[in-house]
Every structure is written in structure tokens, then in C-alpha cells.
Amino acid sequence: MKRAYNFGAGPATIPTEVLEIVQKELIDFKDSGISIMEASHRSKLYDDVHESAIGNIRELYKLPDDFEVLFLQGGASMQFAMAPLNLYEGGKVQYANTGAWSKKAIKEAQIQGIEPEIVATSQESNFDHIPEVNFDDDCDYTYITSNNTIYGTQYREFPSTASPLVVDASSDLFSYAIDWNKIDLLFGGAQKNAGPSGVTIVIVRKNLLDRVKDSVPTMLRYKTHADSNSLFNTPPTFGIYILNLVLEWIKSKGGIGAIDKLNREKAKILYDAIDNSGGFYVGHAQKDSRSLMNVSFNIKDKDAKLEAQLLEEASKANMIGLKGHRSIGGLRASIYNAMSKEGVEALVELMQEFAKKHN
């Protein structure tokens, strides 16, 4: 069986052990004679999967009882609109702008006639760091993107504010422990770090659910989905099934603490290779803002020809998804939870050999 080292930013690598279970259960799930894809979302067969996934999220995240777990669709991009639709009460709203996804979220708020205050940004340096963020305590809500896939930056800790804090955590879900005292709404598309595309996880504090105005369409209300346990309409059942298997895989590895430790080890191996290359490789993010999930870098002088050559050699060595985002170019290695330490070591070995030949 051929399995590539998939460094793509998303949809991203899924643990091989999970895919093997999916393969085994695909046609006949739990001796039911049908695939879980064919099971009614109202059936006991699927309900067990649904409840298990919610339970695993609560267990892994040590989620307090005053939060709801929702399974929605539309990706994080839908949440850029849903968050203001559900939380805005006509007052002040503040955002930190740390990259492309924050900018898209700001735009969605503006479409609704909201003019967010941008209280922190790193745009002037092409989003190469997480700026200091100080939110006011009297906002309807405040907003950050926890990890920036394009630029390879990540919050070391979340800002403290008395205002509700919204966190787009699409690219670092289930990779570190969260202080829920600081957060009121956290969301993310599963396809980067928690499973397949099609599932959006929303974790929202219950006391925010009644804020929504009557003018908001039924399907765009968090309360609609909370009141129906995410079964108001047909949820992405197959995606939730795989998400649950990924959560079980995280538990089998020792939980989020063990995953965080491994992620730090992987990131150190790769960042050390960049820092010790004698300037041949240059990271985009400033060191105190470096992401543990996405490592964006260039070859010296942003040599596009050499970067293309390295990508070609990586492909021949069964490593894919390393091309940097079109907005900044270069290379990017996404080393999410499911990327093995061996995969990172193989990439570093290739990078070091390439540097010796071309430095």
C-alpha cells in the first residue's frame, strides 16, 4: 500500500489507522448490513456515532457543561457570517486582523452593516507575527483567528477580555488544551486537523444562544441547532463518523496533552532545520509567533526556480502538498496532528540534502 507524506494545508492528512477502520466498516457497519453513509440520521445506528463524537469532544477538551457542541456545515466561511448574525446586538465589535481568514471574517461582518474596530494587525509586515491584542470589555463580541495557515503564525495564548471572545480554530483543533474561561465561541472546519471536509464544529456558550434576532433565518441560528442536538436537518453523517474515529485516535495516543507534546517535537525538528541552514531556508513567521501546525518558508532570496526544484524532488520522494500559498509563495509544510514524526524527519533530511547541493 502506498501512502504519501501529505503536508497539504487542507483537506489534510488523516491517520492511516482511521482510514483502515473506515475501509473495513465501509460496506457493513457494526453488522448492520449497511454502510454508515446509508444510515438514517434518525436511526439508533447513527445516533450512537453522533453522541459518541459529542462526548469525545467534551472529554478531550474538558469542556464545561455551559457549552453546546454543534455539528454544522458550510465550513469556517459560514461561521464568518453566523457569528455576527447570532452575537451582534448593535454595539461595539472588535477584531484582530492576523491574515487572510481574519480579513474574510471582517468582510462578512461589514456585509451585515457592522463596522468592526481593528484593534491589532500585523498586515504591515505581511502578517509575520501575532500582534499584542487588547480588547475592550464592553463589546458585543471580540474575534481572533487562532492559527494562520498561510503565514504560519499562531497565538501562544488567547487574549483576556470580559467581552465574549470568538475564536476561529479551524487549523489547530484538538492540538492543545484550551482555557474555556477565556472563550465563548470556538469554531473550525474539521478538514485541516480533525477529520474530513464537510463537518464544521461549533462550541458555543449556552448563555449566548438567546441573543439571536427573530430576523435571522432559522438555519443560521445556533439556537436552532442546539435545541435539536445538531439534528434539525440531515447533518454530514459520514464526516461526523470519521471525525469521531479521529477523536478516538487522539484518545489512543494519550489525549490532547500527548498530541501537543508530539506536535512541539515535530515543529522543533523542522524549525531547527530552517534556522540551522545557514540562511538557505528562511521562515516567514517571527520566532515568537511560529505555528506548530503550518511552517511557511522560502529558499534564500525567494529563489522560485530552486523552490520549484525542491517541490519536484519532494514529489519524487512521496511528499506532497508542500507548495506555499499563492499569496506569499515559497513552501509550506502543514504538520497537523496526523502527520507523523517520521514524515517531518523525512522532509528535513530531503531539505538538508538539497541545501548541500545548492548552497
pLDDT tens-digit profile of 253-285?
A: 999 999 999 999 999 999 999 999 999 999 999
Compute the average pLDDT of residues 129-151.
98
pLDDT band at 200 (very low <50, low <70, confident <90, very high): very high
Predicted confidence (pLDDT) per residue in 100-111, tens digit: 999 999 999 999
What's the pLDDT score for residue 320? 98
The reported pLDDT for the residue numbered 285 is 98
227 is catalytic: no
Q: Which of 101, 172, 249, 323 is catalytic?
A: 101
- What cell numbers appear for 107 in the block? 468582510
pLDDT of residue 359: 84
Per-residue pLDDT, 274 = 98
What is the DSSP code (8-state) at residue 220?
G
Q: Residue 7: pLDDT band by 50, 70, 90 thresholds?
A: very high
Quote the pLDDT of residue 1. 73
Question: Given a cut of 80, is residue 6 above it in pLDDT?
Answer: yes
pLDDT at 3: 94
Mark whether 192 is an active-site residue. yes
CA distances from 312 to 28, 280, 283, 284, 318 (A): 40, 18, 20, 21, 10
CATH 3.90.1150.10 placement within the chain:
255-358
Percent of the chain surpassing pLDDT 90 = 99
41 secondary structure, DSSP code: T
Over the stretch 299-343, which tens digit does the pLDDT of each residue have? 999 999 999 999 999 999 999 999 999 989 999 999 999 999 999
Sheet holding 294-299, edge to edge: 281-283, 294-299, 331-334
How is 248-266 classified by DSSP, letter by letter? HHHHHTT-HHHHHHHHHHH
Does CATH place domain 16-252 in 3.50.50.60?
no
Judged against a pLDDT cut of 80, whether residue 231 lies above it is answered with yes
* 3-class state of residue 11 by DSSP: coil
Q: How many residues does the chain have?
A: 359
Given a contact cutoff of 8 angstroms between Cβ atoms, the answer to whether 226 and 206 are in contact is: yes
165 pLDDT more than 80: yes
Assign 219 a pLDDT band (cuts: 50, 70, 90).
Answer: very high
Inform me whether the pLDDT recorded for 185 exceeds 80.
yes
Average pLDDT over all residues of the chain: 97
Q: What is the model's pLDDT at position 314?
A: 98
- The highest-level CATH class for domain 255-358 is alpha beta
Of the candidates 192, 223, 266, 323, the residue annotated as catalytic is 192
SS3 242: helix
- The answer to whether 101 is a known catalytic residue is yes
- Over 90: is that where the pLDDT of 2 sits? no
| pLDDT greater than 80 at residue 11 | yes
- CATH 3.40.640.10 in the chain, residues? 16-252
Point out the catalytic residue in the list 92, 103, 128, 168: 168
Q: For residue 140, name the pLDDT band (cuts at 50, 70, 90).
A: very high
User: What is the three-state SS of 11-46?
Assistant: CCCCCHHHHHHHHHHCCCCCCCCCCHHHCCCCCHHH
Q: State pLDDT tens for residues 34-92.
A: 999 999 999 999 999 999 999 999 999 999 999 999 999 999 999 999 999 999 999 99
For 187, the 3-state DSSP assignment is strand
